[in-house]
């Protein structure tokens, strides 16, 4: 399974996402923001970082990159897409996911081992998990507050599109403690915490994050 | 003259920066200020005259790029740059 | 509101200078002495142009020329221990150490103290940016940063201004660059109130054959400036020159603070590494203090000695800048490369790919002169060596302060400082110390830093050393720590510097890494004060001697003088950074006591040593006596035990003892693992001394019962003192885990955690 990882100017966790794909048994493929070709990959990851320095708004400029035209088209056709942190911000700006991310309510960057609960396990990226499973995954962001209007939030909740929720502490003021959401078809997922940093107890709080990457390998086969 | 685009967070969006600024103003004694919301101002230099057609185009630019309609409101109008106004 | 001044009618060219030898020049305002100005005239055979004067004044400043410190820093080279590990020694941007398997690691710590007082966010941010570029210029990919920070008292109003800004600046810049912050320090003391210390360390890795040079060689090779446009950042006093005008407009106000853009630096890093990877540059230098003046003169001086630069080709953010200002600008995120003409197109292509502005400014020559022109007029024509490497060398007078003896005689005896003696008093003291500013949890600071990015962070603060993996296949890694106890250094600067090295060395060994090399950031008051200068002389002598004793060479470092407000200098603060290597990072020893049932050993000797201690400071506001004894042989022996035990898998956890003594070490290790401990005070030692003495060369370790005999045999064979002082314990359901000191007191981890965690957030609220 070939999983593309896009590098925008300012992307930081692209190499780490590639490592996570490798650990999960997939083949990471580096994709350049300026190319509108995604090299026939089976799924795409938009990694964490500060694309374009977070200028204007996080992800606001990256969403117009040539590669994103193709990613959006392929996503509409069912290709799985995972947006991590800045990637989540880009997916919201590109309207592949509802809502938006604003500055943390505490006004500072927060880096912590964050407890999450997995709720939607029918998505392309969370099928390896059990509903209600607790994970500890690093969160490291300054603009991680998830917001949407009440109607949208109700729709996301009732449609089972909340993928992961903050459990022990809400670190950034996200509405309804939402840490990640999915598209209606469950193929596109965005989350603020970084599963690619929880793949090995040697370098992170554990290996709870690996499931995101193993899930998509089975999802792609099934598609 | 420039074209000015002003972008503000929607009223229902939490604006922690505005709140922090309000607290700071109060600490400095400006207690008559009861609310602060913080936004962005873009000054666009445009070739030629700025007529309604131009403003319509820039309205598109504003709603596509300069503002995120999910969380922000905006207005587009002809205006002087802050630099010129404050000179 | 800046007043835009029209450019001066006449540019001060070399020929004009030759014809007007008696023109008044503001050399004193620029910080030059009369004899220095005379020497410049001697070097040139005429008066300097205003551009040349600006160049010399900045390059001969304390910050750039090290004129007050050079004679003392020489010791680091003269007394350097023999070692095969050094690939590049003192003198370059940073030292380079061989860590095995063909890997070379470069590291250095620098200061950005004064700017951080003026503009905390940008001062700290640009400090990080600067040191990262230094590491990049050695040819390495930067892989981590650390930040030793010192502020005034935690509860002081100005600390509330400075600390959040500094922390946000370091996080804002480092996080955006994608560099994990893996360690550092946060220390509070009244002497830092007007003079916060913001030191920044960066470490980078490369293959042996990737080490870059800064020597501009090869006449005809092109001089390329790339990165951000040049603006008026950091010009400061040079505006005096720029205001020399025939018109009557007032002096231009230029911002003296540099403003950083980490996104530009991130692109700069990727672009530069690609230039290196494609073998496109002959030499490289970053632009830091003194900007273009520094890079041109240093690169030329290190190379064939000649360079020709057309200053008007420099891309500008501000078109009103005068040539003097362009030469002095400290605009961030800029690098200078020497490129063979045949490779310039490829260089431009790589820069274009990363959207990095690149401009050919001129070329390397064989004239032995650095020549700079401005729209065709020659404004600089100097021998570069005189600017960059032959600056003034001062022999500043120094003498031991008259108060030093009295200070050392004021020992913290029980008669002088009341000590807790009852179990309740001891318990109260443990809680009080745990919540005191210097010992409280620093999460408020460290949670603003990304410690995960790049996916190779094995250990990060609050562990004893930061550990980064270098090779995923072999597990090769490096460990780093930065340390300094300024109070020890005030009591005895020679010993204080030795103790700083000892602590840093010990921290690296505690995680299981072999110490290899040293960097340092020497923060002191005014060198014009003979008592401060004595502190500096003693500290450098102490550090050099200690490095020789421990067999770890100084690879480079930084000196920051003038950290004082009026007559009050900061505590002498020689921050020492030690780099160590681990063959296999999976063997590292973490700090947390996490497994009930394991036994805890105290390694090393404890005696009554409270001089300069955290207890004396926090409880009594007292600083006096002698600092703890520094026994480097014992430190080495302890290090060998910790490293070998780590390699052999004999330890579940280890934590060295430093500020706050044993009590603090146990509190930290137990809280980190969430497991309590039953402790007993060995016979013959006073419980207060046992808990709060700051005797050196000590560590606590948690040993699985299955390894206990092997471990104690190892200690016995090496004749190193070791005492079984406790057992890790769940605690009772009613209380949760506790630290129970037999026959004395019990304190719950919950109470300790509350005390430790709340201190900083409450102060910053």
Q: Is C585 on the interface with A (CB under 8 A)?
A: yes
Rounded CA-CA distance B50/C628 in Å is 76
What is the per-residue pLDDT across C695-740, written as a single tens digit (0 to 9) for each? 999 999 999 999 999 999 999 999 999 999 999 999 999 889 999 9
* Segment holding C313, helix H or strand E: none
- CB of C201 closer than 8 Å to CB of C147: yes
Nearest to A49 among C178, C455, C457 (CB): C178
State whether residue B24 sits within 8 Å of chain A by CB.
no
pLDDT tens per residue, range C55-98: 999 999 988 899 999 999 999 999 999 888 888 877 777 889 99
How many helices and strands (H and E) does chain B possess?
3, 3
Nearest-neighbour CA in chain B from A105: distance (Å): 6
- B49: domain CATH number? 3.30.1280.10
Phi, psi of C346, deg, nearest 5: -65, -40
With H, G, I as helix, E, B as strand and everything else as coil, classify residue A169. coil
The total of other beta-carbon atoms located within 10 Å of residue A128's CB is: 19
Fold of C28-60+219-365: Phosphoribosyl-aminoimidazole Synthetase; Chain A, domain 2 (3.90.650)
Q: Does the beta carbon of A50 lie under 8 angstroms from any beta carbon of chain C?
A: yes
% pLDDT > 90, chain A = 97
The distance of A65 to chain C (nearest Cα, Å) reads: 14
Tokens 């396990």 belong to A121
- CA angle, residues A172, A173, A177, in degrees to nearest 5: 100
A111 is catalytic: no
CA distance C446 to C460: 10
Is the CB of residue C186 less than 8 Å from the CB of residue C306?
no
Instruction: Using only the alpha carbons of chain A, give its radius of gyration.
Output: 15
Host domain of residue B67? 2-12+39-86
Output the six-digit token pair for C138.
Answer: 């050695």
Tell me if chain B has a CB within 8 Å of the CB of A1: no
Q: A196 an active-site residue?
A: yes
In this structure, what token pair is assigned to residue C323? Answer: 């040539």
Catalytic option among A85, A92, A93, A115:
A85
**CA-angle at A66, arms to A63 and A68, nearest 5°:** 45
Helix (H) or strand (E) holding C34: helix C34-44
Q: Provide, as residue numbers in chain A, all residues whose Cβ is less than 8 Å from the Cβ of C176.
A: 10, 50, 53-54
Nearest to A180 by CA among A106, A103, A121, A112: A121
**Total structural domains within chain B:** 1
CATH assignment at residue A143: 3.40.50.880
User: What's the CA gap between B18 and B23, in Å, rounded?
Assistant: 9
SS (H, E, C) C354-370: CCCCEEEEEEEECCCCE
Give the residues across from A146 on adjacent strands: A101
CA dihedral C617, C619, C625, C626 (to 10 degrees): -60
Q: Summarize pLDDT for C117-146 with one digit per residue, the tens.
A: 989 999 999 999 999 999 999 999 999 999
CA C349 to chain centre: 35
Q: What is the mean pLDDT of chain C?
A: 94
Beta strands C283-286 and B40-44, pairing class: unpaired
- Give residue for tokens 């794909």: A21
pLDDT digits (tens, 9 = 90+) for B41-58: 999 999 888 999 999 999
Token pair 């808990």: residue = C691
Of A54, A110, A202, the CB nearest to C586: A202
- Using CA atoms, how far apart are residues A74 and C280, in angstroms rounded to an integer? 38
A-C CB pairs within 8 A amount to 84
Tokens 């970053």 belong to which residue? C286
Instruction: Give the pLDDT of residue B86.
Output: 84
* Residue B28: inside a domain: no
Q: How many domains does chain A have?
A: 1
C320: left (phi over 0), alpha (psi -120 to 50) or beta: alpha
Tell me how far apart the alpha carbons of residues C661 and C700 are, in angstroms, rounded to a whole number: 11
How high is the pLDDT of residue A221?
A: 65
Distance, in Å, from the CA atom of C383 to the CA atom of C342, rounded to the nearest integer, reads 28
Q: What is the mean pLDDT of each run of 10 residues along chain C (765 residues)?
A: 44 94 92 94 96 94 91 93 85 86 96 92 95 96 98 96 97 97 98 96 96 95 97 69 38 62 95 98 94 95 93 94 92 97 98 96 96 97 94 96 98 98 97 98 98 98 98 97 98 98 98 97 96 98 97 95 91 98 98 98 98 98 98 98 97 98 98 98 96 98 98 98 97 93 97 97 93
Q: DSSP H helical segments within C106-222, as ranges?
A: 113-118, 120-137, 157-177
Among A99, A103, A145, beta carbon nearest to B70: A99
Q: Which tokens belong to C434?
A: 């745990």
Q: A110 — phi, psi (to 5°)?
A: -125, 125
pLDDT in the model for residue C365 = 97
Going by pLDDT thresholds of 50, 70 and 90, the confidence category of residue B27 is confident
Q: Which residues of C115-154 are buried (b: 16+ CB within 10 A; e: fewer)?
A: bbbebbbbbbbbbbbbbbbbbbbbbbbbbbbbbbbbbbbb
DSSP letters spanning C234-246: T-GGGHHHHT--S
Q: Is the peptide bond before C390 cis (omega within 30 degrees of 0)?
A: no
Per the annotation, the verdict on A85 as an active-site residue is: yes
Interface probe for A, chosen from C453, C456, C588, C760 (most Cβ of A below 10 Å), is C453
ipTM of the prediction greater than 0.85, yes or no: yes
Q: Output b/e per residue, C305-320; b: 16+ Cβ within 10 A.
A: bbbbbbbeebebebee
For A57, the domain range is 2-222
Largest CA distance in chain C: 91
CB A82 within 8 A of CB A189: yes
Burial call C396-415: b when 16+ CB within 10 Å, e when fewer: bebeebeebeebeebbbeee
Q: Counting runs of H as helices and runs of E as strands, what totals does chain C give?
A: 26, 28
Closest by Cα among C115, C105, C68, C70 to C85:
C105
Amino acid C534: pLDDT = 98
Closest C-alpha to C606, from C516, C689, C487: C689
Q: Best of B70, B72, B73, B74 to disrupt the A interface by mutation (most A CBs within 10 Å)? A: B70
Q: Any chain A CB within 8 A of the CB of C263?
A: yes
C340 touches chain A (CB under 8 A): no
Helix axes C50-59, C34-44, angle to 10 degrees: 120
What does the block give as tokens for C282? 């002959």
**Are residues B16 and A149, on separate chains, in Cβ contact within 8 Å?**
no
Give C191→chain A minimum CA distance, Å.
Answer: 28
Task: Judge: A107–B16 Cβ closer than 8 Å, yes or no.
Answer: yes
- A166 in reach of chain C (CB within 8 A): no
Query: What does the pLDDT profile of chain A (223 residues) look like in tens digits?
Result: 999 999 999 999 999 999 999 999 999 999 999 999 998 999 999 999 999 999 999 999 999 999 999 999 999 999 999 999 999 999 999 999 999 999 999 999 999 999 999 999 999 999 999 999 999 999 999 999 999 999 999 999 999 999 999 999 999 999 999 999 999 999 999 999 999 999 999 999 999 999 999 999 988 765 5
Minimum Cα–Cα distance from C356: chain A residue: A9
A-interface mutation test, from B68, B72, B73, most A Cβ less than 10 A away: B68
């Amino acid at each position: 399974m070939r999983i593309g990882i896009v590098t925008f100017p300012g992307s930081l966790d692209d190499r780490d996402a590639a490592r996570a794909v490798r650990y999960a048994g997939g083949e990471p493929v580096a994709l350049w923001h300026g190319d509108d070709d995604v090299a026939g990959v089976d799924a795409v990851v938009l990694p964490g970082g500060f694309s374009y320095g977070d200028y204007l708004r996080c992800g606001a400029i990256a969403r117009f990159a040539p590669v994103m035209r193709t990613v959006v088209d392929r996503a509409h056709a069912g290709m799985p897409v995972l947006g991590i942190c800045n990637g989540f911000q880009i997916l919201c700006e590109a309207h592949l996911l509802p809502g938006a991310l604003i500055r943390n309510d505490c006004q500072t960057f927060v880096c912590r081992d964050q407890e999450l609960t997995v709720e939607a396990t029918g998505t392309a990226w969370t099928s390896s998990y059990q509903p209600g499973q607790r994970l500890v995954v690093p969160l490291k962001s300054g603009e991680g507050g998830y917001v949407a209007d009440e109607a949208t939030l109700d729709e996301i909740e009732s449609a089972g599109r909340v993928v992961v929720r903050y459990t022990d502490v809400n670190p950034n003021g996200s509405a309804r403690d939402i840490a990640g959401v999915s598209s209606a078809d469950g193929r596109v997922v965005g989350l603020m915490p970084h599963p690619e940093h929880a793949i090995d107890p040697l370098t992170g709080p554990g290996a709870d994050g690996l499931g995101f990457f193993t899930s998509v390998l089975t999802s792609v086969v099934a598609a | 003259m420039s074209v000015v685009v002003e972008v503000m967070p929607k009223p229902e969006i939490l604006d922690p920066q505005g709140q922090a600024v309000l607290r700071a103003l109060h600490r400095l004694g400006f207690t008559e200020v009861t609310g602060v919301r913080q936004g962005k101002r873009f000054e666009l230099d445009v070739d030629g005259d700025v007529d309604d057609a131009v403003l319509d185009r820039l309205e598109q630019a504003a709603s596509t790029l300069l503002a995120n309609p999910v969380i922000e409101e905006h207005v587009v109008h002809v205006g002087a740059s802050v630099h010129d106004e404050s000179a | 509101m800046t007043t835009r001044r029209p450019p001066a009618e006449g540019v001060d060219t070399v020929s004009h200078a030759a014809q007007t030898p008696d023109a008044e020049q503001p050399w004193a305002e620029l910080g030059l002495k009369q004899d220095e100005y005379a020497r410049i005239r001697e070097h040139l055979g005429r008066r300097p142009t205003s551009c040349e004067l600006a160049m010399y004044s900045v390059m001969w400043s304390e910050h750039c020329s090290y004129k007050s410190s050079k004679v003392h820093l020489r010791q680091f080279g003269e007394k350097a221990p023999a070692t095969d590990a050094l690939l590049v020694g003192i003198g370059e941007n940073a030292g380079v150490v061989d860590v095995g398997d063909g890997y070379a690691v470069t590291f250095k710590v620098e200061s950005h103290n004064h700017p951080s007082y003026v503009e905390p966010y940008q001062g700290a941010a640009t400090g990080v940016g600067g040191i990262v570029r230094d590491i990049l210029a050695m040819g390495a990919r930067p892989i981590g940063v650390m930040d030793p920070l010192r502020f005034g008292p935690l509860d002081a109003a100005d600390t509330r201004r400075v600390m959040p800004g500094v922390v946000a600046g370091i996080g804002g810049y480092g996080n955006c660059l994608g560099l994990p912050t893996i360690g550092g320090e946060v220390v509070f003391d009244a002497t830092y109130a007007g003079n916060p210390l913001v030191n920044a360390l960066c470490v980078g890795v490369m293959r042996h054959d990737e080490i870059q040079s800064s020597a501009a060689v090869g006449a005809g090779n092109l001089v390329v400036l790339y990165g951000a446009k040049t603006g008026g950042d950091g010009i400061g006093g040079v505006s005096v020159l720029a205001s020399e005008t025939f018109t009557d407009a007032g002096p231009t106000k230029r911002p003296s603070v540099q403003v950083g853009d980490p996104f530009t630096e991130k692109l700069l890093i990727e672009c530069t590494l690609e230039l290196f990877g494609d073998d496109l540059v002959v030499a490289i230098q970053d632009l830091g203090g003194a900007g273009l003046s520094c890079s041109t003169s240093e690169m030329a001086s290190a190379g064939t000695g000649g360079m020709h630069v057309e200053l008007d080709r420099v891309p500008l953010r501000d078109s009103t800048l005068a040539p003097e200002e362009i030469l002095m600008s400290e605009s961030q995120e800029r690098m200078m490369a020497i490129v063979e003409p045949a490779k310039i197109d490829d260089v431009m292509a790589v820069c274009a790919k990363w959207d990095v502005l690149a401009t050919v400014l001129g070329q390397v020559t064989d004239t032995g002169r650095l020549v700079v022109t401005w729209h065709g007029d020659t404004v600089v024509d100097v021998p570069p060596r005189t600017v960059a490497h032959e600056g003034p060398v001062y022999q500043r007078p120094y003498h031991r302060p008259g108060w030093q003896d009295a200070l050392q005689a004021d020992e913290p005896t029980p008669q002088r400082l009341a000590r807790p003696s009852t179990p309740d008093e001891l318990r109260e003291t443990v809680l009080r110390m745990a919540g005191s500013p210097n010992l409280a949890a620093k999460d408020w600071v460290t949670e603003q830093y990304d410690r995960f990015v790049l996916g190779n962070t094995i250990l990060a603060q609050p562990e004893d050393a930061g550990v980064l993996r270098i090779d995923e296949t072999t597990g090769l890694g490096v460990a780093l720590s930065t340390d300094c106890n300024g109070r020890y250094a005030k009591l005895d600067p020679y010993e204080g510097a030795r103790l700083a090295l000892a602590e840093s060395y010990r921290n690296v060994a505690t995680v299981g890494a072999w110490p290899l090399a040293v960097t340092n950031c020497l923060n002191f008051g005014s060198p014009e004060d003979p008592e401060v200068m004595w502190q500096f002389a003693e500290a450098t002598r102490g550090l050099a001697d200690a490095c020789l004793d421990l067999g770890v060479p100084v690879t480079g470092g930084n000196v920051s003088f003038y950290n004082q407000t009026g007559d009050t200098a900061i505590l002498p603060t020689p921050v020492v950074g030690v780099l160590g290597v681990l063959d296999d990072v999976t063997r590292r020893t973490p700090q947390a006591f996490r497994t009930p049932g394991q036994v805890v050993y105290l390694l090393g000797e404890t005696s009554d040593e409270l001089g300069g201690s955290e207890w004396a400071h926090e409880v009594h506001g007292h600083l006096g006596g002698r600092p703890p004894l520094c026994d480097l042989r014992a430190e080495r022996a302890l290090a060998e035990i910790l490293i070998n035990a780590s390699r052999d898998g004999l330890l579940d956890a280890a934590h060295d003892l430093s500020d706050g003594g044993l009590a603090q070490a146990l509190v930290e290790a137990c809280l980190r693992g969430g497991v309590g401990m039953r402790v007993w005070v060995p016979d013959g030692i006073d419980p207060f001394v046992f808990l709060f003495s700051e005797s050196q060369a000590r560590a606590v370790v948690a040993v699985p019962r299955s390894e206990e005999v092997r471990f104690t045999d190892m200690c016995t064979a090496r004749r190193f003192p070791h005492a079984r002082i406790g057992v890790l314990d769940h605690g009772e359901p009613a209380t949760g885990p506790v630290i129970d000191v037999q026959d004395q007191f019990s304190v719950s981890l919950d109470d300790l955690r509350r005390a430790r965690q709340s201190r900083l957030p409450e102060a910053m609220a």
